[in-house]
């Protein structure tokens, strides 16, 4: 068999191939014999029909089976001979097969990316210094209050932001109203929920709903029946005790630490994003188109799921899906390239994740979910997520290595805003 690389376009390689009839004769004869053994031909016992008759009567199935077998042989020999690292299964043009003649055509291979050497020298970036603000601490303290809030039902008075309202929706032309539970939220995409603030319990008002929303289009009469409202507890030592602290000050100290940890996480994320952005600018290579298409489908599925979650029919959401796919494609290609760059860095730096480190993450997840660690491990294994966790741990390590080598300027947020993002009070690593 002979083969030759005809075209290399991105991650796709096209090879031509040719097999002379002498190479084809043996597998052809074997397939004819296999078909003959199973053939039910009138006038002959099973398996006793003449081979020539079988070749003529079952020419189509024989040719199809032979082509499949020959193409597998061709693909295997090219992969082995060229040492190809495949991303997906090869495919071929529909070849013509004639008895007594050579078998030739073209076969295509989608390959894993060829990532060049990743240059990590001389990287310089700016990162915003993030420190806990009183507003952040207050928000966390307020979350403690919300988790310990009581619920009270009000039969009169105006609706306030955050209230929950049992209501009846009567669509024009309908005979019976529909009972719903609405959340007063000024930024909601639901017109009913967006229109609640300031309405009085017992009021009936009209809302016109257009096509494409979470509710069927039409004119509705909305009647508020009552209001369910959160009653926040006082910020005192009793609340602190319910939250596991001795005093309000201890609760605020814990909120301060939580805010500091969140800011540290955001600062590290910004640092890693900027390091990766530099590497993406420096490292150019093609990625498998099938992988990009798969990721794009996942992105579109996520958009559709989010619409369903908001009770919006994707088919009526006035979204130009083709344009959305085209708009997301560069972002998806970038994320795929980023994955291979990080994988290359992990290998280059020799970063390893121990079972002890992996078990530590599983233990943390188990504590959050209040579930046995072994059960969590089994669930992660079932959904093939253990390797994702291992990869993310290795990614964190490799970015710590990069950050240690890079020149990083930490910019104070207030000065950066005042000067339009220019250098402010900075410290170089």
Domain spans in the chain, listed from the N-terminal domain onward: 2-110, 150-231, 286-337
Q: Which two tokens stand for residue 357?
A: 């480190």
The region of weakest confidence among 30-34, 96-100, 155-159, 420-424 is 420-424
Pairing of strands 164-171, 150-154: unpaired
Q: How far apart are CA 249 and CA 403, in angstroms?
A: 36
Residues 366-417: tens digit of each pLDDT: 999 999 999 999 999 999 899 999 999 999 999 999 999 999 999 988 644 4
Q: How far apart are CA 414 and CA 261, in angstroms?
A: 20
Fold of 2-110: Alpha-Beta Plaits (3.30.70)
Burial 265-293 (b: 16+ CB within 10 A, else e): eebbeebbebbbebbeeebeeebbbebbe
Question: What is the mean predicted confidence (pLDDT) over 151-177?
Answer: 90
Q: The whole model's pTM is what?
A: 0.76
CATH code matching the domain that covers 150-231, chosen among 3.10.50.30, 3.30.70.1230, 3.30.70.330, 3.40.50.300: 3.10.50.30
Domains 2-110 and 150-231 share a fold: no
The region of weakest confidence among 122-131, 149-158, 355-364, 409-418 is 409-418
- Residue 414: what pLDDT? 61
């Amino acid at each position: 068999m002979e083969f030759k690389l005809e075209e290399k376009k991105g991650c796709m390689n096209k090879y031509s191939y040719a097999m002379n009839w002498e190479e084809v004769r043996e597998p052809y004869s074997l397939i004819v014999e296999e078909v003959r053994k199973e053939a039910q031909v009138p006038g002959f016992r099973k398996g006793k029909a003449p081979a020539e008759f079988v070749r003529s009567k079952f020419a189509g199935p024989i040719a199809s089976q032979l082509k499949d077998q020959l193409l597998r042989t061709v693909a295997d020999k090219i992969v082995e001979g060229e040492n190809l690292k495949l991303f997906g299964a090869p495919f071929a043009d529909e070849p013509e097969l004639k008895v007594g003649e050579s078998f030739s055509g073209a076969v295509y291979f989608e390959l894993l990316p060829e990532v060049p050497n990743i240059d990590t020298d001389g990287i310089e970036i700016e990162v915003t210094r993030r420190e806990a603000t009183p507003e952040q601490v207050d928000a966390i303290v307020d979350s403690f209050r919300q988790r310990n809030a009581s619920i009270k039902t009000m039969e009169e008075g105006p609706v306030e932001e955050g209230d929950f309202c049992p209501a009846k929706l009567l669509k024009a032309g309908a005979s019976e109203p529909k009972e719903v539970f609405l959340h007063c939220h000024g930024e909601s995409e639901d017109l009913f929920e967006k229109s609640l603030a300031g309405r009085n319990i017992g009021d009936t008002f009209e809302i016109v709903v257009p096509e494409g929303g979470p509710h069927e289009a039409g004119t509705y009469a909305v009647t508020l029946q009552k209001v369910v409202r959160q009653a926040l507890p006082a910020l005192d030592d009793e609340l602190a005790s319910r939250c596991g602290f001795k005093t309000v000050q201890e609760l605020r100290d814990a909120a301060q630490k939580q805010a500091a940890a969140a800011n540290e996480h955001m600062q590290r994320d910004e640092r890693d994003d900027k390091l990766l952005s530099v590497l993406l600018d420096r490292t150019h290579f093609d990625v498998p188109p099938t992988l990009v298409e798969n990721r794009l489908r996942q992105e579109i599925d996520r958009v559709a799921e989010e619409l369903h979650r908001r009770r919006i029919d994707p088919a009526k959401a006035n979204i130009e899906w083709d344009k959305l796919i085209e708009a997301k494609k560069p972002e998806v290609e970038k994320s795929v390239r980023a994955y291979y760059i990080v994988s290359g860095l992990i290998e280059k730096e020799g970063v390893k994740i121990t079972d002890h480190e992996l078990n530590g993450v599983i233990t943390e997840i188990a504590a959050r979910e209040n579930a046995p660690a072994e059960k969590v491990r089994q669930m992660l294994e079932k959904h093939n997520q253990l390797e994702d966790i291992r990869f993310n741990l290795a990614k964190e390590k490799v970015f710590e290595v990069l950050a240690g080598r890079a020149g990083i300027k930490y910019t104070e947020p207030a000065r950066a805003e005042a000067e339009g993002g220019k250098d402010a009070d900075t410290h170089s690593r």
